[in-house]
A and B are shown apart, each in its own frame.
Chain A
Amino acid sequence: MGKIIAIHSYKGGTGKTLLSINLAALYADRGKSVALLDLDFRAPSLHAIFKMPHGEYWLNDYLNGVCEIRKVLVDLSQTHAKRGRFLVGLANPSTEAIREMTAKDRKWEMNALGRLLSLKTSLLNDMQLDYVIFDTSPGLQYSSINAIVSSDVALVVSSTDISDIKGTHRMIDELYDLFEKKTGLIMNKVLTEVLASKTERADLAKQLMNKYNFPLMEMIPCFCDVLRTGGTTILATENPEHPFIKTLDRVATSIENL
């Protein structure tokens, strides 16, 4: 049985989308069948990164009960997977669609939760996918909580900013634990000097794990050259030897073993 992984954060700009895309590409390179779904309906971004024609339908349509999930997925295996299968589902980036998604009522959100929960059957059982990755909205919004409830593993991405750390701490305590989620924390964009010094690195890890009780999975340094690409390249495909990808490869293995 495959796994649904929700990639989430308390604050925006932590690198969720970059991690989601490269994690999906890494699994595809390992020969796995992967679907990457853009569940950030307030700020969709995968359409801009993959520069692909969208499928017959958007993920918005799937959650609206208009179509089956198969009709949303676009197969990018030829261009983005050396061995496995790489499927992508896009959120509608039009202003009208974003406005519409933010104005949904509780009944709609309940139905959307049902549709997300049923992905376990349609994608993992029927389509035999190994991994489904949800790229979610930051913070505690309906769409992101729905995504977390529907996932098997929640991967939280945080920066070293104290407001982010404290918010992440509250979120894990008051949300993830309530739904008994397997959780992993990735500290992203950590200052290179901190990670270069063994003492500082150990101190930070100790503080995160002891003081905040974080399930720390990995600390990723801030790579200026990754930021410089501006999201125009998928490093796991184009530069698999990059240290960022090597670090993410360990995350991929940790999730496999969860």
Chain B
Amino acid sequence: MNETMEVMIELSKHGQQAQTQDGLPDVLDVMTLLSLPDHLRKTAVTLCRLEQTTADKVAEQTKRARAVESSYLNQLVLMGYVKKERRGRKAYFLVERGGEEKEANKVWARS
């Protein structure tokens, strides 16, 4: 409950938009990274590097507490930049990257 409250406060504080004007979820590209508050940017860059991971692994990289990273990752989930999946007892966070295969097929088709 506390975690959700913190997330809502954080979101209203920074006025982040989880969706673009056309209603599609925003993407976690460098422009988004630049617009994030410092504490979330560090978490987001680490997640981009690790692709899909747990709060523990992010905390190892950022040298911050696991609980802190868990809270930041959940904020990114609420903002719509990150997806959260339960695998057994662990929560995994991932950046949805689709479209790569489609692009690859386009390149192959041309060659």
Q: Which residues of A contact B (CB under 8 A)?
A: 61, 64-66, 106-111, 113-114, 117-118, 120, 142, 145-146, 149, 175, 178-180
Contacts and interface: CB of A to CB of B under 8 A. Distances in A.
B34 A175 contact: yes
Contacts of A109: 29-30
Interface in B60-111: 95, 97-101, 103-104, 107-108
A178 B27 contact: no
A145 B29 CA distance: 10
B45 A106 contact: no
Interface string B31-55: 1011000100110010011010000
B26 to A, nearest CB: 8
A142 B34 CA distance: 12
Nearest to A146: B30
Nearest to A147: B30
Main secondary structure of the interface of A (DSSP, over half): helix
A179 B100 contact: no
A71 B18 CA distance: 37
A113 B30 contact: yes
B32 to A, nearest CB: 8
In order of increasing CB-CB distance, the 10 nearest A-B pairs are A65-B100, A110-B29, A117-B49, A145-B30, A110-B27, A66-B104, A109-B29, A65-B104, A106-B29, A64-B103
A145 to B, nearest CB: 4
Contacts of B38: 178
B97 A64 contact: no
A111 B98 CA distance: 8
Contacts of A117: 45, 48-49
Contacts of A113: 29-30, 48
B28 interface: yes
Contacts of A142: 29-31
28 contacts: A64-B100, A65-B100, A65-B101, A66-B104, A66-B107, A66-B108, A106-B27, A106-B29, A107-B27, A107-B98, A108-B103, A109-B29, A110-B95, A110-B97, A111-B99, A111-B103, A113-B30, A114-B51, A114-B95, A114-B97, A142-B29, A142-B30, A146-B30, A149-B33, A149-B45, A175-B34, A178-B34, A179-B41
Contacts of B31: 106, 142
Given A109-B30, A110-B97, 19 more contacts: A61-B107, A64-B100, A64-B103, A66-B104, A66-B108, A108-B103, A110-B29, A110-B95, A111-B99, A111-B100, A111-B103, A114-B95, A142-B29, A145-B34, A149-B33, A179-B33, A179-B41, A179-B45, A180-B42
